[in-house]
């Protein structure tokens, strides 16, 4: 039997698209290879959000060269956001002449056809298409999901926000919402198959339906409809842009037990000058008001965020605003990045770039502050009751996750079932894990 190996980089979108690639390959009779050396088809599903991501990918593609030398029949394909960039397919091929197929983030669905064409012609294929809109499941091939409990469901593609640092709108195209009935059918099917946590995916889920293509179904309505489906499950979504998280959505989350009380709300920066230069369309004050509103409706919600340090023009005072903001909000979790210049974005041309040494200093400092806050908040969870999905069982503990995504180790005082939710009393917080008992 022929086999495949997929390298996946980047966000949940890419993770989910790799599930599609696996589905296509398995429908063609390929099986998952134990290691890349033995695979007949190797796919790199790439990301280009930061330069560090690209460097890592290029290194990993380079490492295929000696393997391919020994195995001339191995097919190497590169797809995803990195290959979607202008002239990238040709550049990749020049750098790595052993690449056989390149295609973009928006035509994953057609990988099967590209593979057939390649096998027929045995000639390098460049299938990156710039004006193509992502098409979901045109082939009808199912996704191959490797986690039996957690499932991703796309609700929209692309992004219209053009934050000035970000390459996503250039490589993923304009926003397009998926038809509500298709989403409902997919979620129902996943629930029937036993999936317990459904995560709705989009770069900016709050603008679902605003393109007028969903017959008036907005994000709040979509969430509410799914939350009313039968069965025991948890509904999550990402990512929410603070500028259009409506009161209606907040109230739907608050009212529905099945919707996770854990929200990822990327703030990016605390300085109004920097937020404006980033084109985020809200101020620090707007954001803090929004957080207050969310917490007034759901006092126990856990919040997480994304932050960029060292955006062009970020002064010490601007950076201090970010520090102030994270101290005020107190996130359970924050993903903190150093600004990375991206080709073709507006910020690339800004002339007040921050030196790497300063960026390093700021990220180091901010990570330390955030770490302390996270530790305090998780310690405060001791004595609370958390709803936990049991994922596995080892000799000493059941292991599961709370809604915040935090691992919970549960003493084996009584029989529990993998794939079920339990209310767990938190007894302690040790070495990054919550320890609890049913």
Residues at the contact surface with ligand SF4, assessed by CB under 6 A: 159, 161-163, 166, 168-169, 203-204, 241
Give the DSSP H or E segment for 84.
helix 81-84
Sign of the CA dihedral with 81 first, then 218, 179, and 389 last: positive
Give the DSSP H or E segment for 88.
helix 88-95
Q: Name the segment binding ligand F3S (CB under 6 A); options: 9-17, 89-97, 192-200, 372-380.
A: 9-17
Evaluate whether 267 touches 232 at the Cβ level (below 8 Å): no
64 Cβ contact partners less than 8 Å away, ≥ 6 residues apart: 36, 42, 76, 96, 98
Nearest residue to 170 (alpha-carbon basis) of 185, 158, 152: 158
Q: Does 266 bind ligand SAH (CB under 6 A)?
A: yes
Q: Does 270 bind ligand F3S (CB under 6 A)?
A: no
Evaluate whether 236 touches 402 at the Cβ level (below 8 Å): no
Evaluate whether 359 touches 319 at the Cβ level (below 8 Å): no
Q: Quickly tell me which residue has 């197929």 as its tokens.
A: 101
Please, what is the minimum distance in Å from the beta carbon of residue 384 to ligand SAH?
Answer: 28
Q: Which residue number places its CB atom closest to ligand F3S?
A: 10
Q: Does 21 bind ligand F3S (CB under 6 A)?
A: no
Q: Does 83 bind ligand SAH (CB under 6 A)?
A: no
Q: Name the segment binding ligand F3S (CB under 6 A); options: 7-15, 122-130, 180-188, 254-262.
A: 7-15
Q: Does 153 bind ligand SAH (CB under 6 A)?
A: no
In whole angstroms, give the CA distance from residue 38 to residue 56.
Answer: 22
In whole angstroms, give the CA distance from residue 239 to residue 241.
Answer: 7
Nearest residue to 193 (alpha-carbon basis) of 156, 155, 231, 226: 231
* Burial bucket for residue 52 (CB in 10 Å: 0-12, 13-18, 19+): exposed
Q: Does 203 bind ligand SAH (CB under 6 A)?
A: yes
Q: Which does 162 bind (CB under 5 to 8 A by kind): ligand F3S, ligand SAH, ligand SF4, none?
A: ligand SF4
Q: Does 239 bind ligand SAH (CB under 6 A)?
A: yes
Nearest residue to 329 (alpha-carbon basis) of 358, 311, 306, 363: 306
Q: Does 124 bind ligand SAH (CB under 6 A)?
A: no
Could you tell me which residues are beta bridge partners of residue 400?
390, 408
Q: Which does 39 bind (CB under 5 to 8 A by kind): ligand F3S, ligand SAH, ligand SF4, none?
A: none
Q: Does 165 bind ligand SAH (CB under 6 A)?
A: yes
189 Cβ contact partners less than 8 Å away, ≥ 6 residues apart: none
Which residues, 49 to 88, sit near ligand F3S by CB under 6 A? 49, 81
Measure the N-to-C terminal CA separation of the chain; round to a whole number of Å: 46
Binding footprint of ligand F3S, residue count (CB under 6 A): 11
Q: Does 14 bind ligand F3S (CB under 6 A)?
A: yes
Q: Which does 340 bind (CB under 5 to 8 A by kind): ligand SF4, ligand SAH, ligand F3S, none?
A: ligand SAH
Q: Quickly tell me which residue has 């101290």 as its tokens.
A: 327
Nearer to ligand SAH, 73 or 351 (CB): 351
Q: Which does 169 bind (CB under 5 to 8 A by kind): ligand F3S, ligand SF4, ligand SAH, none?
A: ligand SF4
Q: Which does 13 bind (CB under 5 to 8 A by kind): ligand SAH, ligand F3S, ligand SF4, none?
A: ligand F3S
Q: Which does 339 bind (CB under 5 to 8 A by kind): ligand SF4, ligand F3S, ligand SAH, none?
A: ligand SAH
Which residues, 331 to 350, sit near ligand SAH by CB under 6 A? 337, 339-340, 342
Q: Which residues would be at the binding site for ligand SAH (CB under 6 A)?
A: 49-50, 165-166, 168, 203-204, 239, 241, 266, 268, 306, 308, 337, 339-340, 342
């Amino acid at each position: 039997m022929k086999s495949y190996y997929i390298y996946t980089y980047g966000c949940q979108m890419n993770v989910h698209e790799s599930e599609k690639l696996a589905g296509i390959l398995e429908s063609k009779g390929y099986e998952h290879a134990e290691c890349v050396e033995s695979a007949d088809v190797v796919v790199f599903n790439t990301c280009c959000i930061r330069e560090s991501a690209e460097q890592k990918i290029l290194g990993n593609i380079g490492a295929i060269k000696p393997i391919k030398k020994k195995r001339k029949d191995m097919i190497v394909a590169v797809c995803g956001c990195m290959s979607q960039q202008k002239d990238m397919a040709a550049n990749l091929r020049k750098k790595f002449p052993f690449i056989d197929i390149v295609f973009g983030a928006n035509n994953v669905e057609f990988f099967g056809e590209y593979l057939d064409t390649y096998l027929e012609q045995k000639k390098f294929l460049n299938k990156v298409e710039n004006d193509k809109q992502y098409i979901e499941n045109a082939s009808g091939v199912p996704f191959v999901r490797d986690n039996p409990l957690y499932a991703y469901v796309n609700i929209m593609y692309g992004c219209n926000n053009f934050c000035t640092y970000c390459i996503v709108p250039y490589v993923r195209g304009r926003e397009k919402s998926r038809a509500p009935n298709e989403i409902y059918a997919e979620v129902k099917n996943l629930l029937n198959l036993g999936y317990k946590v459904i995560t709705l995916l989009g770069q900016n889920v709050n603008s679902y339906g605003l393109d007028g293509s969903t017959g008036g179904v907005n994000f709040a309505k979509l969430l509410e409809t799914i939350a009313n489906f039968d069965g025991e499950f948890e509904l999550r979504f990402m990512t929410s842009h603070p500028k259009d998280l409506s009161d209606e959505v907040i109230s739907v989350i608050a009212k529905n037990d099945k919707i996770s009380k854990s929200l990822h709300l990327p703030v990016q920066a605390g300085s109004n000058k920097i937020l404006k230069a980033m084109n985020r369309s809200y101020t620090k004050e707007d954001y803090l008001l929004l957080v207050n509103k969310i917490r007034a409706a759901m006092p126990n919600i856990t919040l997480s965020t994304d932050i960029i340090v060292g955006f062009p023009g970020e002064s010490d005072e601007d950076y201090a605003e970010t520090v102030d903001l994270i101290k005020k909000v107190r996130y359970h979790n924050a993903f903190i990045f150093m600004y990375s210049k991206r080709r073709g974005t507006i910020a690339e041309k800004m002339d007040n770039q921050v030196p790497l040494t300063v960026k390093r200093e700021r990220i180091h400092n901010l990570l330390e502050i955030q770490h302390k806050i996270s530790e305090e908040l998780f310690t405060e969870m001791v004595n609370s009751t958390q709803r936990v999905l049991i994922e596995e069982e080892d000799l000493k503990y059941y292991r599961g996750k709370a809604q915040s995504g935090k691992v919970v180790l549960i003493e084996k005082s009584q029989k529990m079932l993998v794939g079920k939710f339990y209310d767990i009393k938190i007894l302690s917080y040790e070495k990054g894990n919550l320890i609890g008992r049913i």
